[in-house]
Amino acid sequence: MRNTDVQMILEGIVTTFDENHQVHIAPMGPIIDSRMERLLFRPFKTAQTYRNLVAHPEGVFHVTDDVLLLARAALGKLEHLPPLKPASLIRGSIIADACRFYEFRICSVDDSDERIRMEADVVHFGRLRDFVGFNRAKHAVVEAAVLATRTDFLPLAGIESEFQRLGVIVQKTGGEQERAAFAFLQNHIDQVVRQARGNDNPR
C-alpha cells in the first residue's frame, strides 16, 4: 500500500477457512486505499482469522449493512452460517447477501508486533446488491459491537455508560434489525457484568 494513497479503515466481515475447511466469519476493519486494490489487515495473534490466513492465505472481505450478522460474528455466536456461494478466483466463500465482496490473497505478513500486519492483494470483486446505508442506529451497533469485544481490558463501568448512550440512539433511529442486534450485544454485556460482580472483581 503506497504512502501517497488516501487511507481509511473500512469495517466489514471476512470469511476464511479453518483447519477443518469450515467457513469462519469474523468482523474486521482493514486499512484500504481509494482503489480497493490492496487491503491491510491487522489481527491479533490470538485471532482465529489470523490463524486461518496463515494456514490458507486467501479469503473474502465483505461490505455489508447487516449489523445483526456483524454483532453475532463479533462475539462468535452465529447460530448458523448465512447463505454462502463459492468465490471465483480463490478457495473461499462469499456471503450471498453482502453488498460488495473482495476476494483477496495475502502477499506479505509482518508478525513482529502484537498486531500482525497482513497485506493482501484484491484479485476479484463484485457487487451483489445496493448498499442501503448506515443510519445512526447502524453506526451505534457497530460501536457497541467493538466495545463488546473489549470487555477483557476496558473498564466495565465505562462500557455500560457508553451502551446506555448508544441504546438511546438505536431506539430513536433504528429498525427491527438494529434493535435486535443491540439487544443481543446488551445481553452479552449484562452477562459479563453479572459475572464480574459475582466474582467480586469490579472493573
Question: How far apart are alpha carbons 2 and 34 in whole angstroms?
Answer: 11
85-118 tens-digit pLDDT: 999 999 999 999 999 999 999 999 999 988 999 9
Shared domain check, 181 and 83: no
Confidence of residue 202 (pLDDT cuts 50, 70, 90): very low
Shared domain check, 37 and 80: yes
pLDDT at 89: 97
Identify the domain boundary among 127, 146, 172: 127
Residue 2 falls inside a structural domain: no
Shared domain check, 152 and 55: no
Q: How many CA atoms lie within 13 A of 89 on its CB side?
A: 11
Amino acid symbol at 61? F
Mean predicted confidence (pLDDT) in 166-175: 96
Residue 3 falls inside a structural domain: no
Taking the complete model, does pTM exceed 0.75, yes or no? yes
- Residue 145: domain span: 136-198
Q: Is residue 53 scored above 90 in pLDDT? A: yes
Shared domain check, 94 and 147: no
Nearest C-alpha neighbor of 104 from the set 149, 156, 52: 52
Residue 65 contacts residue 95 (beta carbons within 8 Å)? no
Mean predicted confidence (pLDDT) in 136-155: 94
Shared domain check, 102 and 164: no
pLDDT at 86: 97
Identify the domain boundary among 109, 127, 145: 127
Shared domain check, 169 and 118: no
User: Would you call 156 helix, strand, or coil by DSSP?
Assistant: helix
Q: What is the mean pLDDT of the chain?
A: 92
